[in-house]
Structure 1
Amino acid sequence: MTEATLARHSTERISRLRVPDESELTDEVRAFFAESRARQGYVLNYFRAHALNSENLARFNAYLLPFLDPSRGRLPYAERELIATVVSAANRCAYCHLNHVRSLGAAIGDKARAQLIALDYRHVADLSERERALADLATKITEDPRSVGEADFERLRGLGLDDQDILEAIEIAAIFNATNRISIALGVVPDKEFFEKGGSYGD
């Protein structure tokens, strides 16, 4: 991280609440921040804002981050980012929308298609039936979870998902609803790097 970047991070307002100095963080979260900088050159504003309760952030990340790791998970990484993008768009979470549409674009190798999915996946004619079913499930979980029923699961089973896959899809939709609500409530400001090449966590 350059001196200019450090200065910017120390003065800009990125959250409605106080953003902690890194000296206040637990060793685990400081190590995570160092790894983030080594990998992509900066720490996401979301993590910097959430780190005010750094022990809570560490517990939250233990659940969240495996879903963002292309080498882990039951569902293909692109499908996980599809769910994250659809949920973030439905919640109108500017921060997570910008972050995950970039990661989805990188995962599928098509930034324009990722933008179209984020605008409204229902109007993307070339979505596979499996992708559409996952997006529909994510939307139901976000907008009206009581509307999820056995028919949704049978549809997914018919498209090759087993029960563990379906549960992972539910877990991903649920955790990104949580990150959306944290980001929206805190008013987390999107990172400037989101508008540059290689900005998001999954890039």
Structure 2
Amino acid sequence: MAERYPLPDLNTLPEDIRDRILQVQEKAGFIPNVFLAFARRPAEWRAFFAYHDALMEPEGAGRSSNLTKGDREMIVTATSSANHCLYCVVAHGALLRIYEKKPLVADQVAVNWRKADISARQHAMLEFAMKVCLAAHEIGEADFEALHAHGLDDEDIWDIAAITAFFGLSNRMANFTGMLPNPEFYLLGRTPREKKPAG
């Protein structure tokens, strides 16, 4: 499939998209394949990443949330595993390890989140996310009450559902196009970073 939808040349992309991708490259040290894969359709790229940023970086949209960055990446990792999306499990699993500062957590969440070393609140969060992912038509008042008991409000619950639904789209596009994770993602967050000497 990758031959059918080859990654576009960065230099052929519109300036705003190219600038954003170069910013990502400068921060990460590489260009995640998703940024180039979706850039074949600039209007869709802009819409996709605008929604991505609003969900995953709500403070940038002027909105507060009780979900941490680690919580958000945990939702993506667990639901992407349910959707059999190699790209998103590996890429967002790397971010999960970094934000949670736990080198084992992403593998645990991807394979069996019910047995992962996570908090009771995160367990309830993932239980709801998986229901949105696999059986959204069954959601009822009891699901909201279970999350309220862990201090999550209705806006947080919206976030959980929206992140799950958005990455359901991403999972399906990654699978259909044959998008593979960058090799760099596999090692990120697995070993503690060496502290730079002071001075």
The question of a shared fold, defined as TM-score above 0.5 by the shorter chain, is answered with yes
Give the corresponding residue for 2:128: 137
Question: Hey, which bits of structure 1, 4+ residues long, moved more than 6 A?
Answer: none
The 5-angstrom pairing of residues 40-79 of structure 1 reads 40-69=28-57, 74=65, 75-79=67-71
**1:79-102 residue CA offsets vs partner (Å, 9 max, x unmatched):** 111111111111110110001111
Q: CA RMSD in A?
A: 2.1
Separation in 1, partners of 2:101, 2:30: 23
Displacement, 1:119? Answer: 0.8
Give the corresponding residue for 2:22: 34
Q: TM-score, normalised by structure 2?
A: 0.85
Structure 2: runs of 5+ lacking an equivalent? 191-199
Percent identity of paired positions between Structure 1 and Structure 2: 32
Moved more, 20-29 or 64-73: 64-73
**1:121-178 residue CA offsets vs partner (Å, 9 max, x unmatched):** 1123x43221111101111111121122111111111111111111111111111111
Give the corresponding residue for 1:23: 11
- Confirm or deny: 8 A CA contact 2:38 2:45 kept in the other structure: yes
Structure 1: runs of 5+ lacking an equivalent? 1-12
Displacement, 1:15? Answer: 5.8
Displacement, 1:71? Answer: 5.6
Aligned residues: 186
Separation in 2, partners of 1:138, 1:185: 23
Separation in 1, partners of 2:3, 2:128: 31
